[in-house]
Amino acid sequence: MASKIKPEQILKTLQVPAVAESVCTGTGWITAVGSVHRDIVSPVDGKKLGEVVFATETEYEAVMKRATQAAAAWKDVPAPRRGEIVRLIGNAFRENKDALGALVSMEMGKSLQEGLGEVQEMIDICDFATGLSRQLYGLTMHSERPGHRMYEQWHPLGVVGVISAFNFPVAVWSWNAMIAAVCGNATIWKPSEKTPLSAVAVMQLVARVMKENSLPEGLFTLVNGDYRIGQALAADPRVAMVSATGSTRMGKAVSETVARRLGKSLLELGGNNAIIITRNADLDLALRAVIFGAVGTAGQRCTSTRRVIIHESVYETFKERLLKAYGQLRIGSPLDENNHIGPLIDRQAVENYVRALIHLKKEGGNVIYGGNVLEGKGYEGGCYVEPAVCEAMNHYQIVQEETFAPILYLLKFNELSEAIAMQNDVKQGLSSAIFTTDLREAELYLSAGGSDCGIANVNIGTSGAEIGGAFGGEKETGGGRESGSDSWKAYMRRQTNTINYSTSLPLAQGIRFDI
C-alpha cells in the first residue's frame, strides 16, 4: 500500500503548491511579503513535503477585515441556507477523502486508516451541522404578567477564532467551523505550524465551494503562522470567541488573554485518561480497547489511554495478555496498512518520550515492555519509538503528567472506590472508561460520585468519540464542549425577549410605580 501513495501526486490532486501561501480568505490567497518560510517535513520518512509562508500582522489585519465584513453579511442568510453551504463543503470532503486522508497521514504520521477516519469526521460533522441548521431552537416561557409573552432566541457571535493542534490537523477545525457557520459566524483558522499543508488542502476545497456559490470573501479564512497569530486572535476584541485545542499551558495563556477583554473561550486541552478494569470485566473487550487507546496515533490523542487501573485479582492475567499483544504490534510507515503504529510528530516528541521514561525509573517505576527509540531501515526520519508498558504508582509525578507518546502505566487496585479515586486524582478530566459486566459497578462509575471526566464510558475505551455527543472535559482539560449535542450554543449569544401585547404596563414581581 505504501508504494502506491506518492506525496507529490497527493499534493497535486489537492492543489497544494510547493510553496503554499500563508493566508486564504476563502476565495483567494494573499501573498505574504517578507514572511518566514517554513519547511514541512514528514515524520514518516524525514523528507520535505513542501513549504509554507508564515503570515505577519499585515496579513492578519487583512483577514480580520474580510472576516468581519463576511460575518455581517452571513448573519442575515437564513440558517437552512447556511446549512446547504455546509452540506456542499461536506460533499467536497467526501469526494476527496482518499487524497486528504493520505495527506493527513503523511504530514502528521498517524496511520492511513486514522487519516481517512479524520476526514470522515469532517464529513460527519458537515452532515450533523446541515441538520442542525433547522434546529437552532429557543424556548418559550409563560409570563407572570397578563398580556405578555416571553421567549428566547439565539443570534450569531460574529467572528470565531479556531486554533487547532497537530494531532488532528483538520477534524477539530471542522467541529468548530461547520457548527459556527450554520450558527451564522465567520471563522479564522490558525492551524498548528507543524501540520499546515493539510489545512491548505482543506481551504482549497472550501474555496471552490465558496466561489461556486458566490459567498462573501472572509467567511472561512486560514492564517498560517507561529504562536503570534494565536496571540493576536486571543487579544483581538473583534474575535467574539476563541476555540483553542492544545496543551494546558497554551490553553491557560489563551484563556487569560481572552478573559482580560471579557471575550468567550472554548478550551480543549490535555488529558490523562484512565481505564478501570474490574474483577467482573470482559478481558477480551478490555484488551482491545486498551491497546488502541494507548497506541492509536502513537499515543498522540488527547483521549489516548495513559493509565490502566486493574483489579488485583485479574492484574497478572491482564498484564500477561497485554504484553503478548504488544509483541504483535507492527511499527513502521503509517501509509502501509499492515502497520499499527507510525511515528511521533517530530524529534522533540521523541525526546519527551525518552525523558518521561527516565523520570519514571527515577521515581521507582519499571518499564516492562518497549521504551526504545527505533532506528535503521523502515524508521527513517528519527521519529519512531516502541510503545512502552510500565508499572507505576498513581502519585508519581510523571504519571500525573500527560506525555504525548505511547506510554502506558499499569496500576493496581482492590476496591472500586479506590480505583475511581485514583482515576480522578489527576489535574486533567477529559475521557475515562470502566470495563465491567456488573450493572452496579457501571452505575456507580457514572454517578455523581464516579468519574469526574467530561466523557465517561462503559465497556468501550477512552478514544474514538462520535461527533453526535458533546466532546470536552473538566479541570485542566478546560471545560469546553465541541461537536454534537447542544455544543452549538457556544457559538451563539442568547437573547431573552418579552412582548407586551396588552394596553397596560404591569411590572414584574408585582412592583407598582404609578404616575
Q: Would you please indicate which residues are annotated as catalytic (active-site) residues?
A: 268, 302
Rg (CA), the chain: 24
Q: Is 407 helix (H, G, I), strand (E, B) or coil?
A: strand
Contacts of 505 (CB under 8 A, 6+ apart): none
Instruction: Please give the grid coordinates belonging to residue 227.
Output: 504562536
Contact 228, 195 (CB under 8 A): no
How open is the CA angle 153-159-163, to the nearest 5 degrees? 120
Q: Is 367 helix (H, G, I), strand (E, B) or coil?
A: strand
Instruction: Report the distance separating Cα 113 and Cα 379, nearest Å.
Output: 19
Query: Among residues 122, 67, 91, 63, which one has the least CA distance to residue 213?
Result: 91
Instruction: Report the distance separating Cα 474 and Cα 410, nearest Å.
Output: 23
Instruction: Report the distance separating Cα 260 and Cα 424, nearest Å.
Output: 30
Instruction: Report the distance separating Cα 404 and Cα 249, nearest Å.
Output: 14
Task: Tell me whether strands 186-190 and 159-163 are parallel, antiparallel or unpaired.
Answer: parallel
Contacts of 134 (CB under 8 A, 6+ apart): 79, 80, 83
Instruction: Report the distance separating Cα 92 and Cα 87, nearest Å.
Output: 9
Contact 291, 325 (CB under 8 A): yes
Instruction: Report the distance separating Cα 275 and Cα 410, nearest Å.
Output: 10
Instruction: Report the distance separating Cα 111 and Cα 89, nearest Å.
Output: 24
